[in-house]
Every structure is written in structure tokens, then in C-alpha cells.
Structure 1
Amino acid sequence: MDATSIITQVSRDDEQLNVCPNEKDDVERLKPPKRGFFSSFLCCWRRNRTKTNQNGTSIDGSTTPPPLPDQQRYLLPQVRHSDMHKKCMVIDLDETLVHSSFKPIPNADFIVPVEIDGTIHQVYVLKRPYVDEFLRKMGELYECVLFTASLAKYADPVADLLDKWDVFRARLFRESCVYYRGNYIKDLNRLGRDLQKIVIVDNSPASYIFHPDNAVPVKSWFDDTSDSELLELIPLFEKLSKVDSVYSVLCNSNNPLNSVAKINNTNQQMSTPQAQMQQSLQQQQQMQIQTTHPQNQQQAVQQTITATTVITQATTISVPTLLTTQHPHQLQQHQQQQQHQLQTNQQQQHQQQLEGSPPNPPDLSNKT
């Protein structure tokens, strides 16, 4: 047996390395019906509408395979009482949580001895950044299941070292996969859990080809120490843990990471000085409008719009640009003129309010 065949992983150019011709007989499975393959790409509502009667015929007329015997029907044991309210999270191992190599790695987190054909081989394992935080949090929110296409003789000891908090309620290995068209597929139908309450986290789209609407894809990880994808995914999984059906979130988007990126981008934009200045100005002007006499509210609103526009335009000019276009003496004179003009405007507005006449709009012209 080739030593590298015990680990199912992708290369850096995303080529599959998991097929070993002499191992097909060991993990041969019946191919899933064609209906199961194509129906997984249909809209979620059809999945919910499909029912099966006692004769094995669904309402839409298609036939379903006969049920397996009870002892072979499901891969997972019964749900623990403490996990009854949780959804099930299926988590991949290689290039999702860790990266392993038979070549020595100086900074390896684990070194796992694996016996192959009477010879002990050393497997060097790197942990993905934030994997500890990710697993600990997911263990609080989900019934977590490790599901890998690698062999148990390698993956089981790695999981022992990786899972410090006993997060994984079960561990499934290559023999639990369905071998289909040259790939090891993780058939979620065989888990014994409600599909609407299962989410699979995997870097290989081929692994969840039967159930793409249950998947949250992750980027394959090899050794990038700056990677933070597991940490960034936690808010999404917190949201998924609270919905009735994962399809309500995942079925509407081919890549759920787009939603996370959009949220992060919005938060980043609102943290800029320009956004903060605009927000503060709008709050102050709104308070002023509420305390202004009704006949002057319309003009106050117009002043707010004008002032906001001026500040928006002004904040796009950098300080170095101003310093290079004006002499220091001119800058000082300009600042004094602006301060004097501001005081004059305030006095005029105060006097006009006392006399009952509407205030003049402030003079915001840029005089030098």
C-alpha cells in the first residue's frame, strides 16, 4: 500500500489525490440513485415536498430505494439528550482543520506514527490557525461529527490530539463514504439526522456533491499562518444554529462566505473617520431640528443636507494635499477668517431667532 493513500487530501492546485486503484474493493459502495444526485441541485422547497408512501413510491411518481436494515441504516448513534436541541455539524479534517505530510515539517504541531505494511511512518501535522477556538465554539452550538475520507489508522490518532474538549460525538472515516465516480462522497442521508438540521464544513466540493445546499465551503489550507477563515466563519454558524432550517440561509446563496464578507465590509466602512463624522453631524442636526420652531424646521433640514455634503467633500481631501497647496502664513490667515466668519454667523442666527425671522444659511464658502 502506498503510504500517501491513507490520507485523502487535495494538492495546492486543487487536484484530488485520494484514489488508489487497489483500495476500491475495500470501500466499494452501491452508487446512489440518479434521482438522489440530480434532486440535490433543485430548489429547497421541492426537497420538503417529496414524500414517500408505504410502497416506496414518492408523490411525484419517482421510486425510492428500499430501506436498509435497521442495523445498517444510519451511521450515527442516537442523539444524546444534551444535544437534542442542537443541529448536526459534519466537519472535514484534512485541509479544513489540519494539513498533514509525510515529509518532515520543522514546526509541526503533531507527529503521528502510522503503521503501513509492517513499517512505521511518521506523519507531520499542522493545525490550521484558530482551529482550537473554532472547535470549542462549535461544540457549544452543534452536535459535531468528524467525517473524513482518510483512513482511521491516521485520522483517529490525529483527532485524539486535536479534540481537547471531546467535541466530536462521532468519528466517521473512509469506509463510511460512498465511492462514486472516483471520489469519496459524504452522503448525509446516511447519518440519521434531519437534513434541514445538518451543515457540512468541507474544503472539497466533491465531498458534498449530493447535498450542496447543506454545505459551507472553506478554502483549502496548507500552511498559511495568516489564515483566519475558521474564526471569520463563527458568526455565520452562530446564526445557523438558531434558524429552523439551514436551507433558509444556505439555499439562497452558492457561497455563504459572500454574506459574511458583505457584513464585514459594511462594518469596516462605518468605522472610517468620514463615516463617523457624518453620523455625528446627522445626530446633532436631528436634535436641533426637533427643538426648532415649526416654521423654521424646513430650512433647518436644508442646512443639514448642505452641511453634510460639504463635510463629505472636505474629508476626501487629505491633510498633506492642503499643506502642499497653501503657504503656512496663508493657512493661519485662512483659519482666522473661518473662525471669525463662524462667530459672525452664530451671532446673526441668534439675533434672528430672537426677532422671530428665519435664520440665514451659514456661509461655508472657502475664502482665502
Structure 2
Amino acid sequence: MAELAAAEVYAPRTLQVWRTLLNWLAFFFQIFAQILRGTPSFNQVLSYVGLRQGSLLSSAPHAPPQFKPLPVVELSEYSEEHEEAPGVTSPGAVPVRGGGEGTANSLPFGKLTVVLDLDETLVCAYETSSLPAMLRSQATEAGIKWFELECISSDKEFEGKPKINYVTVFERPGLKEFLKQLSEFADLILFTAGLEGYARPLVDKIDSANLFSRRLYRPSTISTCVSLYLVSFHCLGMLPFLAMEYREHVKDLSCLSKNFCRIVIVDNNPFSFLLQPLNGIPCIPFSPGQPHDEQLLDVILPLLKNLSQQKDVRPILYERFHMPEWFQKHGIPSSGWT
């Protein structure tokens, strides 16, 4: 009997030891996997010096595989409640182009603050030596404006001399007119994850009229933990534990304003505004391979004109894009939002 009792005690203890060991192994495996996920790829390493293969990536590194750009949908009719509410303009009544009705004097709430991303939102830049000649020819035939630029890289040449990169920049169709009309009813702020040595001369070129009131570069972005989720292997009898995911180059609008009622950010990468999802407009990424792009004047500008007439932009942007649900679907909890 004593031997049988000892065997019965020994077996559960052995099982418990194995389960504990498996828990620890799984824990270290997750840490190792997270380290691998956090290890910069070759393209990400190039992005820190302002370059990527075939394209100048001065904004954030490539989005994760699960990210799919969200298109800015065409303006649709809102409910009768929105249309009849005092001080709210129906999107259908907002003209696509021109007009002095959008000037600051006619805005009931003053100017809207519009934060604009740079790369793949307003322009698309390529390292000149890597640019396919066919792409340049197609863009020229389609009437897309482009220019060449010299910019200072974060790399250093021999004896500490700054390295000069040569890039070709394609302007999104309607860019100059978009900025001009937008400045009539909005304060413009440029917020890019690009390095200043690249972005400053580029913006000097596209904004010769100094329409941007502020320019923010990569040092103004933040890195943040955006995902906490449970990992569990019930089939192995293992205990759940927490895993964390970090995002770099996040654009926190709180550095610009503590009042989010009248501020919006337009960015082709929604993860840039994950801290304020109700203030973001996810636009289609621009590429010179899409010569008939009409997003700036025909889609984004009318939406911004309508938002300029609202006391609070967040209800309309939520109804349009449902960004909180999109972030939750991708494992980002609402506890990190402001």
C-alpha cells in the first residue's frame, strides 16, 4: 500500500513538473519569436538611412502583412438627422473644387487643423539610380509632375563627410491645388516619419508658398506598445501568458493639441494614427504607376471641406471608416486610445 501511495503521489508531481517546464519553454519561445519579429529587415535598415530597394522610404517601415490599405470611399448621403442638424453641411452640398465658401471667415468654428503625411500620401519618391526608366516615361506621358532632388543621408561617407542621395519625386495629381484650397479653411501641418535631411528639401519644393504652419519629422514620432493579448495552449495544459507588440513611428496628435474635436490626420498607413483612431482618414497609397489617381481633389478635399463645418469631426469619421473596430480586429486594444 505504501508503495502504491507513493506512486500515486509521484505521478501527479511529475506531470506538474512537465507542465511547468512546458510553460517556461513556451514563454521563452514567444520571447524569441518576438525578438525575431522585432529584428529589422533589410528594407527597414535601408529606411533608417532614407532608402529602400527601388523606392525612397522616408516614412515608416513597411506595414505588416495583415495590413491592407483602406480606401477613402466616395462621399455618401448621411441620415436625415445629420442633414437637418443645424450647422451641419450635407456632403452632397460640398463642391469638389474651388469656391470662396470655404474661407476662414465663413467657418462657424474657425479653421480645421489638418495633419498630412508625406510619402505615399502627397508624393512618392524613388532612389534615382533604382528608378525604372519605363516608370518615369509612363508618369511623364500621364502628366504626373516629377522632379529630382539631392538630400543628405543619415549615413556618413569616408572621413565623416555627409552622404548625398539623389532621388526622383513624383507629385500626387492635383497636389498644389489641393494644398492651396485646403489652406483656405484649414491650418496645415506636415507630419512625416521621414528623416529631416530628406523631407525638408522635398517639402520646400512642393510648398514654395509656405502653406504648412508646422513641419514634424521622425524624431516627433513615438514608439509604443499597441497590443496585449493572451497566448494559451489548453491542449497541453499550459497556462496563458501575455505577449506584446510594438509599433514604431506612431504619430501622436496630442503633441499638437489636447482637443481632438477639430483635428484630423490623413495618412496612407492607419497604424500611424492608432492612438487617435477617430481622427484618422486612411487614404489610398499613391504610386506613379497609377496615373489616374484623383484622390486629393475628388475625394479627400470634399471630405475635409465637410469636416471643416463640423463642431466635432470624430462622429463623421467614425461613421465613415469605423477605425476603432478595424484596430480591434488587428489586436490593438482600445485602452491605448485617446
TM-score by length of 1: 0.48
Matched ranges for 1:40-59 at <5 A? none
Q: Which has the higher helix share?
A: 1
Residues 17 and 197 of structure 1, relative CA distance in 2, 3 Å threshold: closer
- 1:208 CA displacement: 0.5
2:210 to 135, 142, 166: 166
Shift of 1:11: 9.5
What is the aligned partner in structure 1 of residue 125 from structure 2? 100
In the TM superposition, what are the counterparts of 1:178-257 in structure 2 within 5 Å? 178-180=222-224, 181-223=246-288, 224-232=290-298, 233-254=300-321
CA contact (8 A) 2:60 2:249 kept: no
User: 1-side partners of 2:52 and 2:286: how far apart?
Assistant: 10
Q: Where do 4+ consecutive residues of structure 1 move more than 3 Å?
A: 1-4, 6-12, 81-84, 103-108
8 Å Cα contact 2:111/2:185 also seen in 1: yes
Contact 1:145 1:168 in 2 (8 A): yes
The one-letter amino acid paired with 1:225 is P
1:224-280 Cα shifts (integer Å, max 9, x gaps): 111001112211111100110101311223269xxxxxxxxxxxxxxxxxxxxxxxx
Name the residue aligned to 2:179: 135
C-alpha displacement of 1:110: 2.1
In structure 1, what is the Cα distance between the partners aligned to 2:274 and 2:53?
16
Which deviations, in whole Å up to 9, do the C-alpha atoms of 1:276-319 show, x marking residues without a partner? Answer: xxxxxxxxxxxxxxxxxxxxxxxxxxxxxxxxxxxxxxxxxxxx
Between Structure 1 and Structure 2, whose CA radius of gyration is higher?
Answer: 1
- 2: CA distance, partners of 1:143 / 1:101: 29
Q: In the aligned structure 1, how far is the partner of 2:190 from the partner of 2:210?
A: 11
Q: 1:53-72 counterparts in 2 under 5 A?
A: none
Q: CA deviation at 1:8?
A: 8.4
SS of corresponding position for 1:145: strand
Structure 1 stretches lacking a partner, 5+ long: 20-80, 257-368
Q: Deviations over 1:5-64 (max 9, x none)?
A: 34489999x9x9628xxxxxxxxxxxxxxxxxxxxxxxxxxxxxxxxxxxxxxxxxxxxx
Q: d(CA) in 2 for partners of 1:211 and 1:240?
A: 16
Structure-1 residue corresponding to 2:219: 175
- Determine the structure 1 residue equivalent to 2:112: 87
How many residue pairs match? The answer is: 193
Once the two structures are superposed, the pairs formed by residues 1-368 of structure 1 within 5 Å of their partners are 4-7=47-50, 18=61, 85-104=110-129, 105=131, 106=136, 107=140, 109-116=146-153, 117=156, 118-180=162-224, 181-223=246-288, 224-232=290-298, 233-254=300-321
Structure 2 SS opposite 1:251: helix
CA distance in 1, matches of 2:294, 2:303: 14
Q: Give the conservation status (yes or no) of the 8 Å contact 2:60–2:248.
A: no
Distance in 1, matches of 2:209 and 2:202, equals: 14
Code of the residue aligned with 2:217 in structure 1: it is F
Secondary structure, aligned partner of 2:319:
coil
Residue aligned with 1:184, SS: strand
Matched residue of 2:320: which SS? Answer: coil
* CA positional deviation for 1:159: 0.5
Kept in 1: contact 2:46–2:52 (CA 8 A) = no
Deviations 1:139-174 (A, max 9, x none): 111111000000111001100000132210000000
Q: CA deviation at 1:121?
A: 1.4
* CA RMSD after TM alignment: 3.1
Letter paired with 2:272: S
Contact 2:60 2:193 in 1 (8 A): no
Structure 2 CA distance for aligned equivalents of residues 191 and 86 of structure 1 = 15
- Is the contact made by 1:10 and 1:95 (CA closer than 8 Å) also made in structure 2? no
Give, as a single letter, the amino acid of the residue that structure 2 aligns with 1:196: C
8 A Cα contact 1:9 1:94, kept in partner: no
Mark the runs of 5 or more structure 2 residues left unpaired by the alignment: 1-43, 63-103, 157-161, 225-245, 324-338
- 1: CA distance between counterparts of 2:190 and 2:320? 25
Structure ranking higher in strand proportion: 2
Partners of 1:99 and 1:222 within 8 A in 2: yes
Tell me the amino acid that sits aligned with residue 203 of structure 1.
N
Q: Retained in 2: the 8 A contact 1:200–1:216?
A: yes
Q: Secondary structure at the match of 1:253?
A: helix
Q: TM-score, normalised by structure 2?
A: 0.52
CA deviation after TM superposition for structure 1 residue 130, in Å = 0.9
Tell me, what secondary structure is at the counterpart of 2:312?
A: coil
